Amino acid sequence: MDILTHAGVGLIAASPLLASRPELALGVVAGSVLPDLDAFCRLWDQRAFLRAHQTWSHALPVQLAVSLAVAAVAALIGWNGLAFGGGLLVGLIGHSLLDLSNTFGVAWFTPFSRRRFCLEWVFFIDALVLAAVAVTLWRVIPIWLQKGDVPALYAEAFFAFLSAYFLGKGVLRRRAGRFSPKAKSLVPSALVPWRFFGTQREQQAVTLFRVDALTGAQAPVAQVPVLDELFAGALETLPEFNLMREISPEYHVVSASADGPGTRLLCRDLRMRNFGTRFGDLEVWLDASRQIAQRRFHV
């Protein structure tokens, strides 16, 4: 999920404890947002970001070790280390569970395995989830500012809705998969809960389509040529290309055009994205001997 959703969910979870058990509440809120600090790897370079995002900071073994260490340090400075460390662990695990429902993939067992897991239930920005977070915070924050602790009813109602919604999205994703048995990927819509965007391989092309998980109705969107085999030799050692192939099952060379004596390639993640972003697009210029002369990576 996006960082605003994570922060809002953490604050709602901690709201009944903000005044009575501040260390536990602080741990929950901190754990809800800290894993996304891996985004700062982008300051190093784009490849570092792709290698790190939703890996170490989202991994259960790392989260457990960090929480234990933080609890020990907190106890040394006079805090309730058990409460702060326990709250931190709850927030960290909750963050990873939310991201597991998305499409980027969480390497949950780093450093023992780099395999990414994703459920494709909910897009990382979801209109109904954001609306539920906003409405609950609109009710919770004034009560907290005036009275301290917030009645647990608000958090209970929010998490009851969130659980029902995510489980419902899981059922819808399963139905979409039954209606589209050959789909390699089904990305959930950010706006329409029962709509998914699918990809299906057709010889040397990938068909993009839209499926209604309630009725099974499908609508083609586009058919994109796949040119991977033609340029495999030129791209096999390109780190950006290989990293994106690890993240997406539908990352391909989708166009090749003459550019002077050489060739310009465009590599793209064909899983349909809700907002038309260029995330992961890789432009590669090959010279006349098919050696990489230049590249531009959009991350």
Report pLDDT digits (tens) over 82-93.
999 999 999 999
pLDDT at 202: 85
What is the spatial distance between Cα 78 and Cα 145, in angstroms, rounded to a whole number? 26
Report pLDDT digits (tens) over 12-68.
999 999 888 999 999 999 999 999 999 898 888 888 988 899 999 999 999 999 999
What is the pLDDT tens value at each position of the chain, 299 positions in all? 899 999 999 999 999 998 889 999 999 999 999 999 998 988 888 889 888 999 999 999 999 999 999 999 999 998 999 999 999 999 999 999 999 999 888 999 999 998 999 999 999 999 999 999 999 999 999 998 887 779 999 999 999 999 999 999 999 999 999 999 999 999 999 999 999 999 998 888 999 999 999 999 999 999 999 999 999 989 988 999 999 998 888 999 999 999 888 999 999 999 876 666 788 899 999 999 999 999 999 88
What is the spatial distance between Cα 296 and Cα 64, in angstroms, rounded to a whole number? 38
Contact 246, 107 (CB under 8 A): no
pTM to 2 decimals? 0.91
Biggest alpha carbon–alpha carbon distance for the chain = 72
CA 258 vs. chain centroid, Å, equals 35
What is the spatial distance between Cα 166 and Cα 29, in angstroms, rounded to a whole number? 21
